[in-house]
Amino acid sequence: MTSYILRRLAVAIPTILFLIVLSFVLMEFAPGSPFDSERGIPAAVLQNLEAKYGLDRPAWQRLGLYVWNIATGFDFGPSFTYRDRSVNDIIAQGFPITLTYGFWSGLAAIAVGVPLGIIAAVKQNTWIDYLAVGFSIGAQVLPNFVMAPILVLVFTLWLGWLPGGGWAGGQWNYLILPVIALSTSYMASIARLTRSSMLEVLNAPFIRTARAKGLPMRRVILRHALKPALLPVISYLGPTFAFLLTGSVVIDIFFSTGGIGQFFVAAALGRDYAVIMGVTILYGVLVVGLNLLVDLAYAWIDPKIRY
């Protein structure tokens, strides 16, 4: 196992490197520049800006320098838009925020989605099942950009219970609405995946056998059925958690959390190459890392699995 993990970590480096090169090439060919604005910028001024950010050098030099700075100093360079901030500063501000609400959203999605899916599967075609199904569709039907304004309308304007946005250092009352808006659709997906794979497992012969032996249902599910039923959910959770932890644009925009999702999209639209690259790498590292965890979880679920 340890050697497997070590091998995977070794592969992670070329993977991220490949990600950097690919992203760099994509941005290189995309139209637009970070200094674009409604009015043209005078040539001399543009030249000074490009010199300042090294954009006057050939692409391969920029790429090389970029990778070198990361490798030697963990320095992701200055932001092109936020003139007095470095990419490190921006990630240091935004990442803890998205990490917090992303983590809670993921947790909420699992905590509600998995039991809901199990109950629905066990009570298949009863009113409990229908209720669970109805909930999970309802949660998916309201996209978060519809849910967010409705939540604020109800809980901030009408009831006055919760703040309509902001972060305030992550106080719990600022966290509730973003977590609800972000987690519901994942809750629904997890519930559906759990339900269907639980149904599949419950029909498997070894479960039938266990039940025929007279084991109580609860025991059968927890001891035998749950682990294999969670497998697809866990596969789903890898990339999903990476996405949640790097934040959602919609949540950042609607709730003014100051999270990294908003930075990323604004940077992409404004061609702030440094910020895009920094967040992409962060996301890439999370994807690779979480997928490694997922693979380790497979081995826990099914010890027979060999890679």
Partner 1 sequence: MRKLSRAFVSPNASAYPDGAPEPVKGRSLWADAWARFFRNKAATGGLIVLIALVLFAVFGDLFAQWSNEEIDWAMLGNVPEVGGPSLENGHWFGVDETGRDLYARTVQGTRISLAVGVVGALVAVIIGTLYGAVSGYVGGRTDQIMMRIVDVLIAVPYMFVLILLMVVFERSIIMLFVGVGLISWLDMARIVRGQTLTLRQREFVEAAVATGVSTPVIIARHIVPNLLGIVVVYATLLVPSMILFESFVSFLGLGVQEPSTSLGALINGGAQNLRNQTPWMLGVPLFFFCTLLFALFFVGDGLRDALDPKDR
Partner 2 sequence: MIAASMTRAANKVRTTERIIDMLRRTLLGTAAALVAFTPALANTPQPGETLAENQVFRYRLLDQFPTLDPHLNEETAGFHVIRQLFEGLMNQDAQGNLVPGVAESFEASEGNTVYTFTLREDARWSNGDPVTAQDFVTGWQRAANPATASPYSWYVELTSMENAAEIIAGDAEPETLGVEAVDDRTLRVTLTQPLPYFAAMTTYGTLFPIHTPTVEAHGDNWTAPENMVSNGAYTLDSLSLNETFTLVKNPEYWDAENVEIERIEGFVINDENQALTRYEAGEFDLLEPLPAGSFPRLQEERPEEAQSVPRLCSYYYAINHREDDGVPEELKDPNVRRALSLSIDRSVIVDQILQGGQTAAYNFTHWATAGFEMPTMAAAEMTQAERDAEAQRLWEEAGSPDLDLRLIYNTSDNHRQIATVVSQMWKQKLGVDTTLSNSEWAIYLEQRREGGFDLARSAWCGDYNEASTFLDLMTSNNGNNDGKYANPEVDRLLEEARTADDPQPMYTQVEQILAEDVGIIPIYHYANTFLLNPAIKGFPLENVENNWYVKDFYRVADE
- Decide which of partner 1, partner 2, none touches 15; Cβ closer than 5 to 8 Å per partner kind: partner 1
Distance separating alpha carbons of residues 270 and 224, to the nearest angstrom: 52
DSSP code, position 57 = S
Burial of 142 (0-12, 13-18, 19+ CB in 10 A): middle
DSSP code, position 216 = -
Contact by Cβ (8 Å): 192, 141: no
To the nearest 10 degrees (0 to 180), the angle between helices 172-202 and 87-122 is 40
304 binds partner 1 (CB under 8 A): yes
Contact flags string 17-36 toward partner 1, x per CB under 8 A: -xx--xx--xx-xxx-----
DSSP codes joined into one string, 61-120: HHHHHHHHHHHHH----B-SSSTT-BHHHHHHHHHHHHHHHHHHHHHHHHHHHHHHHHHH
206 binds partner 1 (CB under 8 A): yes
Binding site for partner 2 (CB under 8 A): 30-33, 35-42, 44-45, 47-49, 51-53, 78, 81-86, 90, 93-94, 143-145, 148-149, 152-153, 156-157, 160, 163-167, 249-250, 252-259, 262-263, 265-266, 269-271
Minimum CB separation of residue 205 from partner 1 in Å reads 5
Site for partner 1 in 94-153 (CB under 8 A): 133, 137-138, 140-143, 145-146, 149-150, 153
Distance separating alpha carbons of residues 251 and 5, to the nearest angstrom: 34
Judged by CB under 8 A, the stretch of 40-48, 67-75, 79-87, 299-307 that binds partner 1 is 299-307
Phi-psi region of 271 (alpha: psi -120 to 50; beta: other; left: phi over 0): left
Nearer to partner 1, 100 or 240 (CB): 240
Binding site for partner 1 (CB under 8 A): 8, 11, 15, 18-19, 22-23, 26-27, 29-31, 133, 137-138, 140-143, 145-146, 149-150, 153, 185, 189, 192-193, 196-197, 199-200, 203-206, 209, 228, 231-232, 234-236, 238-240, 242, 268, 276, 280, 283-284, 287-288, 291, 294, 298, 301-302, 304-307
